Structure 1
Amino acid sequence: MQIVTANEMYGIDRFTMDEIGLPGVLLMENAGQAIVNKALDFLDRKSKLAILIGSGNNGGDGIVIARILKSLGFSVDAYLLVEEDCLKGDALFHFKVYRKSGFDVMSLRDFSCLKKYQVIFDAMLGIGFKGELRSPYREIISECNKLDITKISVDIPSGISADGRHPTKLAFQATTTITLQHPKQSAYTYPARNFYGNIEVVSIGIPPKATNKVLQYDRKSWLSKDVERTLPHRSPTAHKGMHGKGLVIGGSQEMTGAPIMTTKAALTAGGGLITVAIPDTIHSIVASQIVEAMFIPCPAKNGQFQGEINTDLSMYNAIAFGPGIGREKGGETLLSSLLETLQVPLIVDADGLYHLALIKEKLKHRTYPTILTPHTGEMAQLLGCSANEVDQNRFELSREFAIQYGVYLVLKGPCSIVTTPTGAQYVNVTGNAALAKGGSGDVLTGIILAFVMNHPSIQEAISNAVFVHGKAADVLVEQNHTMLDVLASDVIGALPSVFRTFF
């Protein structure tokens, strides 16, 4: 399912009308029909409905919705929030049709009257909105947000920027947003996402050709059906050597748990043989917690890697570097060597990203897949900007970095974004705030390691790993946990429940 910006959606509409020949009035009619068909799932014939109508195409959709619902016999009050002469183009056309159908509109002077409705449709402001809300929308939306009723936004909640780049101070708080043709980018950025409620996507008859012609890059949500389509199944004749020899490089005197969680996650997620390279000073601690792995104790200095691993790295199918590795110079020396010589996929996480920020130009010379998994703060460090800048431009900055340095980038957080070296992006739809706890990233690194060794496609491996990681947290909260008490090790324990839904 493609995700679009405002400009991209405008371009898709223009191509559909100018090149394909579907008129705007038809698309607006299709939009109204599609929204009503979906909204019927939430409506009760006994409910009293209000439709709040603005001046643009979003308002035009609201006029069509009002006409259809009235024709179906619903009790509907349609409020036009602008003067009639403000309506233009397709919206004006449908307003005339609405009037000729024998229906009228009302003026909204007393905002407190909204309390008498059980359902409110928000068709005030569409994807063209930017900046601050003005009167009367500011006052109307404030009043609506006080109401504990069903609130349905048409395409996008009024007051939200479609691209999610502008801070959101006030917007219509929808219980459900029925979005047209393609979800908008702000549906996957925070705080904008908080105003959408449940998101339903409906088609308005735009042919795929229009989308394909306009969009320069793929930007899609990665759904359960995508995981089911791409998750490899094991052969009955499988043996451990067929499912990857992986190496985890990490750990320090202060952080013994990180490589343990990464290794356990990799094994649980299907890695065939996993070896752990750790500073020799913590060998006994880590080895006592993982009985299924092999170990390479390495020379240590100050409880961290001194800068070398005494093994043949060419024997591994993929390597994860960074969980718990610390920030001593030995980590940077080791990572620099890996970037220059390693000829298998390399996953860099945690303090590995701290070291990478100092030597990131080496990424441009690497010809084998490199996978980075930063959270917002780590991404800001890689870019040399503020965390707030990253949050305001998650999609754009991820793509720019991935293309410039030729890496697969997982920008972690709510709606994690997986970006490929070619700029294609895949947005995760699973997970919750229970993952906001130390160790969660180490677990994800382990799942990615196992999946990269067992998928034919690197992108599919990463996207599936992020999905499964988030889904495990969802399963825990749905069953017997809250978002407060989930531990990273619990997420590993929930992986079998997630896999069972696909196998």
Structure 2
Amino acid sequence: MYVVTGERMRQIDRFTMDQVGISETTLMENAGTAAYLQIESIVTPESSIAVLIGAGNNGGDGFVIARRLKEAGFDTDVWIIPPLEKIRGTARVHMDIFIRSGHTFFQYEDSQAIFDRAISSSTYIIDTMLGTGVKGALKAPYDRIVEEVNCSRAEVIAVDLPSGLPAEENEPFEQAVKACRTIILQAPKETAFLYPYAEYYGEWTTADIGIPCKAFEACGARSRVRTENEVRASLPYRKADGHKGTYGKGLVIGGSEQMPGAVSLTTRAALRTGIGLVTAALPASITATVTGTATEATCLPLQSNQGEMISESLTGLDLSSYDGAAIGPGMGRSHPLSFSRIFSGFDGLVVIDADGLYHLAEELNAWRDGRGGPTVITPHPGEMARLTGKTIEDVEKNRFSLSRQFASEYKMTVVLKGAYTIVTTPDGRQWVNPTGNPGLAKGGSGDTLTGMILAAGLQTDDFLDGVLNAVYIHGLAADQLIHERDEASITASDVIEQLPFALASLR
């Protein structure tokens, strides 16, 4: 499933019409019919339905939906918001089909008092007013209508995009339909995964309108949603003749006297995700924390000062026997550390998180040309803000573009955590993760994910599949937990203990 901007979707539509040969009239019929089929499964025979139709292609979809609802016998009032002369092109074609099919409509400009009563008495309101073509503040009469719709007691179903809401990141808006459900046509838009925009979609589903994958590829769509089927297909299986070395030998570097639990969480998560061997490199004074909680791991005690590891103990590490390393959880910030020196000449997977990102930010220029092996960073918005020199607000408004820019510039795979985590590769490909819930908004969740990424990345032929799977399964484990307990009570340790069940559910 691709993720697009409004402009990209228009290019894809045009390619489908001009190069594939599916007419706009057919696409609109497909879109309206696909949306109708989902609406039909929601409404009941006793429902009172109002379909609000605008002037553009979204309104054209509305004519198809309204025709199908009326033909099926549903009590449906159809409201055309703009003057009739503003309905042109393919939308006009479908208006004419609607009329020639024997159906009638109301015009908003002639019947505002009746419209007010219809909105207040409707069970369902179908929003097909504006779609993806709107920028800036809403103009009359849409501003008034949107306010009225939002104040109604009806269940509001938006088609493709709630009216007034932008389709892409960092676009301002003042007012939009707050839908209970949104039926997105073919591909979700960026704002479905960005807050506060996402709140306006309500629950959303997609409807296939017949646009081929070739159209997305030809038009440069590079963002996708990671699906359960893709995770299932790429999960590694244990070989009958496999041994512990087959499934990766990883090093977890972190921990301090102030934060001894972080490195333990990372190590335990790596073990639960299937790594063959894992060693925790940590201050000698806290080795008991790991040996007491992750008995399967080995420990590499290191020299420390004021409870934190020092540069001399890390730059002397022999990494030659490891396939990958994770660095940062709980390691502290008291002493300057040069990761470019620590990993010089190491071509295995490196995952950097937490305090590791603080140290990375101090020497970013040294990473501009990349390194011999893959590097994965896992910042939350605050850490991403420090790495990019932006504010947290800027990061949240530009999650897609900032991730892509940073990954390209520093040759790293960026896992930008959040309500919808976005994974971005140096070549610009992106995946949005659909799993997870607010129960993960708690200390230790990131440490857990770091261990999972290390372990999963060392078990797949392409480390990227491991990264994507780890992010998905991390959220899936939390989603499974809230079936049994309140999300506020979930801890990182709970997620780790749920991993065997999350993995088993995908086999």
TM-score by length of 1: 0.96
Assess if the C-alpha contact under 8 Å between 1:163 and 1:184 holds in 2.
yes
Partner of 2:234: 230
Q: In the TM superposition, what are the counterparts of 1:77-476 in structure 2 within 5 Å?
A: 77-108=77-108, 109-110=112-113, 111-215=116-220, 217-307=221-311, 308-309=313-314, 311-330=317-336, 332-333=337-338, 335-363=339-367, 364-476=369-481
Shift of 1:252: 1.0
- CA drift of 1:178 comes to 1.1
Post-superposition CA distance 1:206-262 (Å, at most 9, x none): 2332222112x5211001111101001112333222111110000112111100100
Counterpart of 2:324 in structure 1: which amino acid?
A
CA–CA distance in structure 1, aligned partners of residues 155 and 374 of structure 2: 47
Same amino acid, percent of matched pairs:
42
**What SS does the aligned partner of 1:275 have?**
strand
| Distance in 2 between residues matched to 1:197 and 1:445, nearest whole Å | 31
Q: Which amino acid aligns with 1:134?
A: K
The 2-side partners of 1:148 and 1:420 are apart by 44
1:47-58 alignment, distance < 5 Å = 47-58=47-58
Residue 112 (structure 1) shift: 4.5
CA distance in 1, matches of 2:239, 2:188: 38
Q: Deviations over 1:254-288 (max 9, x none)?
A: 11110010001001110111100011232234433
Alignment root-mean-square deviation, CA: 1.5
Return 5+ residue gaps in structure 2 as ranges: none
The residue identity in structure 1 corresponding to 2:77 is D
> Aligned letter for 1:355?
H
Deviations along 1:154-196, one digit per CA (max 9) or x if unpaired, are 1111121111322454321222211112111111111111111
Query: Aligned to 1:495, which of 481, 484, 499?
Result: 499
1:434–1:169 distance in 2 versus 1, CA, 3 Å: farther
Q: Partners in 1 of 2:106 and 2:117 — Cα distance?
A: 15
Paired residues of 2:185 and 2:207 also in contact (CA < 8 A): yes
SS at 2:488 equivalent: coil
Cα deviation code 1:321-342 (max 9, x no counterpart): 0000111234x23x23234232
- Measured in 1, the distance between the counterparts of 2:100 and 2:244 equals 73
Partner of 2:29: 29
Opposite residue 313 of structure 1, the aligned amino acid is L
Q: Is the 8 A contact 2:370 2:412 kept in 1?
A: no
1:478 aligns with 2:483: yes
Within 1, Cα distance between the matches of 2:21 and 2:96? 23
TM-score calculated relative to the size of structure 2: 0.95
Greater displacement, 234-243 / 143-152:
143-152
Consecutive unaligned residues of structure 1, counting only runs of 5 or more, are: none
Are 1:248 and 1:263, in contact at CA under 8 Å, matched by a contact in 2?
Answer: yes
Letter in 2 for 1:94: H
User: Matched residues in 2 for 1:121 and 1:89: separation?
Assistant: 22
Opposite residue 102 of structure 1, the aligned amino acid is: G
Contact 1:112 1:143 in 2 (8 A): no
Which one-letter code corresponds to 2:450 in the other structure? T
Aligned-partner Cα distance in 1 for 2:411–2:483: 38
Give the secondary structure class of the aligned counterpart of 1:234: coil
**For 1:440-495, what per-residue CA distance to the aligned partner results, in whole angstroms no more than 9, with x for missing partners?**
0000001001101101112111110000000111111122x212111111111111
What's the CA shift for 1:148? 4.0
Distance in 2 (CA, whole Å) between partners of 1:292 and 1:63 is 63
AA aligned to 2:13 is: D
Contact map agreement 1:164 1:190 (CA 8 A) in 2: no
Name the SS for the 1:55 alignment partner: coil
Partners of 2:263 and 2:22 lie apart in 1 by 57
d(CA) in 1 for partners of 2:348, 2:358: 21
Following the alignment from structure 2 to structure 1, what is the Cα–Cα distance between the partners of residues 50 and 342?
62
Counterparts of 2:183 and 2:168, CA distance in 1 = 17
Secondary structure of 1:409's match? Answer: strand
Q: Distance in 2 between matches of 1:376 and 1:133?
A: 30
Secondary structure at 1:152's aligned position in 2?
strand
In the alignment, is the contact (CA less than 8 A) between 1:339 and 1:362 conserved in 2? Answer: no
